[in-house]
Amino acid sequence: MDDTPFDVYPRCIGDQPELSMSATPKPHKGDVLVS
């Protein structure tokens, strides 16, 4: 469990945590909305 903001995105997506960590926080938000 990390306190980093990146950890929050992967959890929301739940699809590809690896991709979320690689991408920036901005794309994460858009990805979550699209999903």
Quote the CA–CA distance of 30 and 18 in Å, as a whole number.
16
Whole-model pTM: value is 0.14
DSSP state of 23: S
- The 10s digit of each residue's pLDDT in 1-35 is 555 555 555 555 555 555 555 555 555 555 555 54
CB 13 within 8 A of CB 35: yes
Alpha helix (H) residue ranges in the chain:
5-13, 17-22, 25-34
Residue type, 8: V
Quote the CA–CA distance of 20 and 22 in Å, as a whole number.
5
Determine the pLDDT at residue 9: 54
Domain boundaries, the chain: 5-34
